[in-house]
Amino acid sequence: MTIQSGFPWSALPFLGLLLSIALVPAAAPRFWARHMSWIAAGWCLALLPLIGPTAWAHDAWHAVTDSYLPFVAVMGGLYIVTGGILVRGGPGGRPWGNTALLALGCGLALVMGTAGAAMAIAQPLLRANAHRRRKFHLVLFLILLVANTAGALTPIGNPPLLAGMLRGVPMFWPLRELFAPWLLASGLLLAMFFATDWLLARDEPACPPARPLSVRGWLNAGLVLALAGSVMLPIHPILPAAIAIGLSLWLTPPAIRRANDFSWHPLAEVAILFLGIFIALEPVSTLLRQGLNGPFAPLLAAASGNDGQMRPALCFWLAGLLSAYLDNAPAYLVFFDLAAIRPDTLGSPGQENQAAVLRAISAGATMFGGLTYIGNAPNLMLKTIASHRGVHMPGFFGFMAWAILTMGPILAIVGTLFFLG
């Protein structure tokens, strides 16, 4: 039995790992903390009888070298480097100040990527609101806005748009074509956050007196920018990540990390879980890449109309939902190939549908990523960081419900206004 046969049972270990991540931490938290590495390994090994040892070894090697190592290098580098930036004082802790911090993160995502911006903002945001009892909404909007939606305009640190750029899509094409959907979605999220934060703040303890803004660790801020920009270079990301980590650990005073309550635990947990996720996901990605010749054919065919042309609105929703539960870069590339997009002809007469489909899958692959903890690389890291700082974070399904409740109406508005018709 092989993956190439298209047999869908090879997706079961990934679903099993997903359900384990969703259910076991809530049902047996101590058991999960002690044995999550063995659980992840068990689901990866469950692929052996389904695809055979040769295919398993090939896919595991491909997943580790092509996906996991670049991921853990960049995410680990960003986590360690941003842990050396200490921000104190400023406007945080009040509704308008928290909204300003999220807006700043939204802007930073354009130059340092969503992962770098989200982790740079996470510590100041949580520290400024340490006096509050209810803080989950801070992390929810940080994930939905800064870690995902904010990246719709740039391929920097954004895997699907980076994949498109490597296929020939101009670097600034998303900035030109997706600015209006990005502005609307970001503006609605900021407005919704301010209203939510204002309502919750009324029942919280008084915010400490405001102090002047101070920032220590400026070297690390430069390293974040360099690390985020390095993903655009034709070099393996492990090298710049290792350099950034080494410089940060060498030159950052230990007192800064102690003040940030820096811990290796969030990074270790994410590294362990995503090793299992990438290996178990590889057969699913293979099935997805089979397109209309694979088991996902009925779903993918639903994106086309009776005339055979791809429908932008359906592409927005289908590419987005696949990105939220699988992997956004493969989902983007599947629809990219199904629509036979030729980047060199974008904007040419008669190619309007291709441009509309590319806009739809670009927005969907980016904006839907915050609907689950595994929808985008920074999500699970932010969840783990928040839990380490004492924020009560819901389980997989609980977070998904809150994310859909919050982001669903915004996605419906964006999809209707920009991609329907």
Distance CA 398, CA 19 (A): 13
pLDDT digits 0-9 by tens, 272-329: 999 999 999 888 888 887 877 778 778 778 777 666 678 899 999 999 999 998 878 8
Residue 9 tokens read as 């049972």
62, exposed or middle or buried, with CB in 10 Å at 0-12, 13-18, 19+? middle
**The dihedral formed by the CA atoms of 319, 377, 174 and 242, expressed in degrees to the nearest 10:** -140
Q: What are phi and psi of 250, to 5 degrees?
A: -80, -40
Percent of the chain with pLDDT over 70: 96
Distance CA 419, CA 397 (A): 28
Of the chain, the end-to-end C-alpha distance in Å amounts to 43
Distance CA 188, CA 183 (A): 8
Residue 5's pLDDT is 44
For residue 106, the tally of other CB atoms under 10 A from its CB is: 22
Beta strand residue intervals within 326-412, DSSP E = none
Q: Mark out the alpha helices in 171-307 (DSSP H runs).
A: 173-177, 179-201, 218-230, 238-251, 254-259, 265-289, 297-301
What angle do helix axes 179-201 and 352-367 make, rounded to 10 degrees? 20
What ranges do the domains of the chain cover? 64-419
Residues shown for the chain: 421
What is the torsional sign of CA 186, 109, 115, 15?
positive
Q: What are phi and psi of 350, to 5 degrees?
A: 85, -5
Q: Would you put residue 311 in left (φ > 0), alpha (ψ -120 to 50) or beta?
A: beta
* Residue of 307, 119, 103, 120 whose CA lies nearest to 193: 103
Residue 3's pLDDT is 42
* Residue of 75, 201, 210, 214 whose CA lies nearest to 138: 201
Residue 353 tokens read as 């549908």
For 153-204, the DSSP string reads G--TT-HHHHHHHHTT--TTHHHHHSHHHHHHHHHHHHHHHHHHHHHHHTTS
Q: Please, which residues have CB within 8 angstroms of residue 128's CB and are 6 or more apart in sequence?
A: 90, 92, 93, 97, 98, 101
Residue 57's pLDDT is 94
Residue 363 tokens read as 């927005």
**Positions of the chain with pLDDT lower than 50, given as ranges:** 1-6
Name the percent of the chain in helix, strand, coil, to the closest 5: 75, 0, 25
Residue 305's pLDDT is 67
Residue 4's pLDDT is 44
Residue 328's pLDDT is 83
